[in-house]
Amino acid sequence: MFLKIFEVRVGTIRSECKAISLFTSAVLTPSHTSETTMRQSPSTGMRRPSAPPSASSATSSLAIALMFSSLRFTPARAFAGSSPAIRRTSAAFLRRPARLSHIIGRSASTRGIARSASTRGGDGDFSTWTFEEPCGRMDWTAGPDFDLQVTSELGSDAAASSSVVVVGMYGPPKPEEGEEKEGVDEGEKPLPDLAGLAASLDAELDGAIGALLVENRKDFKDGSATGSSLPVLRVVQNGMMRRIIVVGLGPAGASEEDAAASNGKLGAALAKVLKDEKAVESMVVSLPEGGSYDLVRISEQLYSGLYVDNRFRSGEKVVDVAKDLKTVTLVLPGTSEEIEKGAALALGVSMCKDIVNAPPNILNPKSLADTAQQIADSSDGTMTCKILNVEECEKRGMGSYLAVGRGAEVEPHFIHLTYKPKSGDVKRKVGIVGKGVTFDAGGYNIKTQMMELMKFDCGGSAAVLGAARTVAASHPEGVEVHFIVAACENLINGRAYRPSDILVASNGKTIEVLNTDAEGRLTMADALVYADKEVGAEKIVELSTLTGACMVALGDKLSGMWTHDDDLAAELEASSKASGDKTWRMPLPAEYEDQLKSKIADIQNLGGKYGGAITAALFLNHFVDKKKPFAHVDIAGPVWDATTGATGHGVKLLAGWIEKQGKE
């Protein structure tokens, strides 16, 4: 007798949470059982029949239908209270990113960027993918819906009627080398230099802001501690509680690089205010005149700072952020176009975080390819998406890439997104390649530690698709961009590739496999050949979570960048400084090539004990024309934060570089 047990967890329709388990059983004859091939589910480990349904299984299905009918439930309704990640609602499934709106006049506004650009549409029925089929769609996060405005002048009633008022304050300039700092000795009362709204509020509150400056000088440093804030002043006026917060903008007269960092920290500080303070409907942010402000950076960090991944939470675990917020008004020079640009960057960062944070039973090559298709669908006709299946990859000779995916039940999906500006004016064609190993168990050289974190091994593809989402929203001119991801999983079964296998890449090079856990470079070998030969990209930039050796060298705040081309290195370094995605150029010594020599093949996939990040970069160079500008960026360190999860690193680096390519 073969007992089928179906358990369906049903969310409550009212405020309580209950679980209802439904059980059915069907008797299978011995002859039927012996003819049924058994298949193991990748997500549960259960072995289930793969033969066509028999009469007994049909009887079982009928029993399920009758039980749902008697309970006045349908299978779709049964999941109505479950986690958003396993729920489908038709309205959410059809939602697509809204067009960015403008408010013309003295003030400019962009409304609802974070929420309008989210897509909530998963494979709604848990059973459609858990036992038999892989998940085909990954949900996107939905952020708070509010109106972000910028204005050069603040109306007399705006601050008085706002729930929260934030005023920025520059600290004293940094003293020159050898010059003593004045007015900061312990116990000495500083003379705060308050201006504009800060001065008005201080007078209105009988010097309360000045008093806070004195009390908190150690941490706030008279405003020099960038992104820090004074304790919240809570004032009740006309029956309404107002909250006044002073935020430090760093030392006055800071360098361009320090000012860029300050703008990013300011945006993050504003997001923190909205996260920490409850029941905020409106916030006014007043900044001193004459400052070096970057509205793109401020707005991007404000939006990105409000990111919360609730896709896999339910009930009390759901974190509501800024749910009452309606407007945020920034008082500084700027335009709605700058806000839109910052919002487009935030969309890409959010997309990147969604991909890296998603668990491997949700995010796989199939659902990653679907995500790419959705990005193309939301691009207003500027993007096309092509997904190559295994047969199409075989025709191109992608033996290196396909070998890695042989051990997984979900087949490899080769993703190629193409962006072309509507104007048709293209000055340059570039290729962006990302490592898309959605889960890396190490293959037969199985990982002995940190395997639970190996969902972030798709961080390169996440940054690439995040940049694609930014490009889809911002529509840069003058550049044609090809986003390429060779998506697969590195798992184990009877067909998985083995140490000592010889693989043939699509450029004809043979590769001896010394370690199946050095798989990322194998997938990208064929992706790089595709970008170089089939696409004909004039420049290629590749991002990947490639080596732990890079983390040893640079830690978890910097990515490593390898290229033979000095001009390309300078371009990426400039984008790094402007975006805040920090990278550091690393060496490519020719003498390390000896570590990649194989006794029986053209090349081997692993170098010696030391310099692993360098030999990995040298390996990749074998699959791009030596005369073509090519850069490899290893983002293994900064892609993940042990406390907060995915960081979104790489999106702004790529997006900024892409935009510059169209302007050269």
Q: Which residue has the tokens 């984008």?
A: 575
Cα torsion 648, 653, 658, 659: sign: positive
How do strand 630-634 and strand 539-544 relate by DSSP bridges? parallel
The H or E element that residue 525 is part of is helix 520-529
Helical spans, DSSP H, in 36-175: 55-70, 75-78, 90-94, 113-116, 127-130
**Residue 320 neighbours by CB under 8 Å, 6+ apart:** none
Distance from C-alpha of 404 to C-alpha of 488, rounded to nearest angstrom: 7
| DSSP type of residue 453 | G
Q: Which residue has the tokens 């970069």?
A: 617
DSSP 623-647: GS-TTS-EEEEE-TTTTEETTTEE-
SS3 200: helix
The H or E element that residue 486 is part of is strand 478-490
Buried b (16+ CB within 10 A) or exposed e, 62-89: ebbeeebeeeebebeebbebbbbbbbbe
| DSSP type of residue 599 | S
Beta bridge partners of residue 486, listed in sequence order: 414, 435
Residues acting as catalytic residues: 447, 521
Q: Cα angle vertex 517, ends 514, 521, to 5°?
A: 85
- The backbone region for 24, taken as left when phi is positive above 0, alpha when psi lies in -120 to 50, beta otherwise, is beta
Q: Are 657 and 572 in contact (CB under 8 A)?
A: yes
What's CA 132's distance to the chain center, in Å? 29
